């Protein structure tokens, strides 16, 4: 143990916080860096766009939402954008995240605050987000109406999905888990890469990350409320048809 007069060993600075990612751990160092970075770009950037830009347009109504989906569907090389910009990075981040979880010996010696709750929450929110993303991608992108071919059906398709109370609960839990994971992940990223160091600065950043978590959650919840409760006939047989007619974009890019 260090005496009061002798300088404390360097490791004691790390033991109370998140350890920076350090070179010298072979391929695992590179993979840890890639995992960490992929959480921000492109996966985090996509989540930001998905909740705060694209889905929030639903709040202004089915027409605006259809135009946004149409815009995304008509981006050049959209399949490759999705494959290399979204699906493969999420798959890498998730699979390596499960591996880190399973190994349990991350470079984090001890996350600060109350008994490593944050450490546990980061893993469980990642796991829940993974289940949610698999389900959401399967139902919205690969089954039922193809929304790239028929953006006008987008609002109705989401509305029909969240009309089921169990699925609505799943969406709410998935949204909050992903929002927490990303918001606290920004804090982790900044600590590990040495972008924000020092107790005060890290506390301030934590406050900002919590505010960002609230923003993502509230905007996401208002969007879900809009899909479920507003701009539509009560769901039933033909609800999609009503919605589709209602949601035909009045302007914007041509619908394929
Ligand atoms: C919604 C999609 C996701 C986003 C936006 C995201 C974002 C992030 C960010 C920004 C970080 C902090 C980077 C760092 O620790 O340096 C992180 C960490 C982490 N993520 Fe994700 N992630 C997502 C999905 C997942 C999934 C599906 C898993 C699977 C379990 C996962 C597992 C992890 C783990 C274990 C860490 C902590 C690594 C550590 O403590 O060293 N993430 N994530």
Q: What is the pLDDT along the chain (256 residues), one digit of tens a residue?
A: 334 444 444 444 444 667 777 766 667 899 999 999 999 999 999 999 999 999 999 999 999 999 999 999 999 999 999 999 999 999 999 999 999 999 885 444 555 554 488 888 999 999 999 999 999 999 999 999 999 999 999 999 999 999 999 999 999 999 999 999 999 999 999 999 999 999 999 999 999 999 999 999 999 999 999 999 999 654 444 444 444 434 444 333 333 3
CA of 64 to the centre of ligand 1 (A): 32
Q: How far, in Å, from the CA of 6 to the mean position of ligand 1? A: 39
Q: What is the extent of the structural domain holding 191?
A: 20-246
Angle, CA 180 vertex, CA 148 and CA 18 arms, to 5° = 125
Q: Is 112 in the pocket of ligand 1 (CB under 6 A)?
A: no
**Phi, psi values for residue 235, rounded to 5°:** -60, 150
Residue 255 in any domain: the answer is: no
Distance 33 CA to ligand 1 centre (A): 12
The predicted pLDDT at position 136 comes to 98
Of 87, 97, 202, which is best to mutate to test ligand 1, by the most ligand atoms within 8 angstroms of its C-beta? 97
145 in any annotated domain: yes
Separation of CA 235 and ligand 1 centre (Å) = 36
Q: Tokens 């005496």 sit at which residue?
A: 3
Q: Does residue 174's CB lie within 6 angstroms of at least one atom of ligand 1?
A: no
Pinpoint the alpha helices (H) of the chain.
11-15, 26-40, 43-48, 62-73, 78-82, 88-103, 117-141, 154-163, 165-192, 199-229, 239-246
User: Is residue 256 domain-resident?
Assistant: no
90: CA distance to ligand 1 center in Å?
9
Choosing from 122, 133, 194 the residue with most ligand 1 atoms within 8 A of its CB, the one to mutate for a pocket test is: 122
Confirm whether 8 is domain-assigned. no
Q: Is 29 in the pocket of ligand 1 (CB under 6 A)?
A: no
Q: What is the pLDDT of residue 115?
A: 44
Q: Residue 69 C-alpha to ligand 1 middle, in angstroms? A: 27
Ligand 1 site, residue 181, Cβ cutoff 6 A: yes
Residue 13 lies in a domain: no
How many domains does the chain divide into? 1
Tell me the CA–centroid distance for residue 254 and ligand 1, in Å: 37
Cα 223 to ligand 1 centre (Å): 24
Residue 82 domain-assigned (yes or no): yes
Q: How many CB atoms lie within 10 A of CB 11?
A: 9
Residue 212 within a domain: yes
Task: Give the model's pLDDT for residue 21.
Answer: 74
Regarding the beta carbon of 216 and ligand 1, being less than 6 Å apart is answered no
In this predicted structure, what is the pLDDT of residue 18?
74
At residue 16, the pLDDT reads 60
Distance CA 50, CA 64 (A): 15
Q: What is the pLDDT of residue 2?
A: 37
CATH number of domain containing 190: 1.20.1300.10
Is 135 among the domain residues?
A: yes
Q: Ligand 1: which atom is nearest the Cα of residue 98?
A: 30
Q: What is the pLDDT of residue 111?
A: 58
């Amino acid at each position: 143990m260090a005496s009061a007069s002798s300088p404390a060993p360097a490791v004691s600075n790390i033991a109370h916080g998140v350890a920076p990612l350090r070179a010298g751990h072979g391929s695992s160092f590179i993979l840890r860096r890639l995992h960490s970075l992929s959480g921000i770009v492109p996966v985090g950037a996509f989540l930001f766009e998905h909740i705060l830009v694209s889905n929030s347009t639903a709040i202004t109504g089915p027409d605006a939402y259809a135009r946004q989906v149409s815009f995304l569907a008509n981006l050049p090389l959209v399949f490759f954008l999705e494959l290399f910009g979204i699906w493969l990075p999420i798959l890498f981040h998730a699979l390596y995240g499960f591996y880190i979880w399973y190994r349990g010996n991350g470079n984090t010696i001890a996350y600060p605050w109350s008994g490593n709750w944050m450490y546990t929450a980061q893993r469980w929110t990642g796991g829940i987000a993974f289940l949610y993303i698999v389900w959401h991608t399967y139902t919205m992108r690969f089954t039922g109406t193809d929304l790239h071919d028929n953006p006008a059906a987008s609002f109705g398709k989401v509305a029909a999905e969240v009309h089921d109370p169990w699925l609505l609960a799943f969406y709410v839990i998935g949204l909050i888990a992903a929002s927490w994971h990303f918001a606290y992940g920004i804090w982790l990223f900044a600590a590990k890469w040495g972008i924000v160091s020092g107790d005060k600065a890290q506390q301030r950043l934590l406050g900002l990350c919590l505010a960002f978590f609230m923003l993502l959650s509230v905007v996401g919840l208002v969007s879900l409320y809009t899909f479920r409760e507003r701009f539509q006939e009560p769901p039933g047989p033909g609800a999609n048809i009503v919605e589709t007619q209602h949601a035909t974009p009045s302007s914007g890019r041509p619908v394929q």
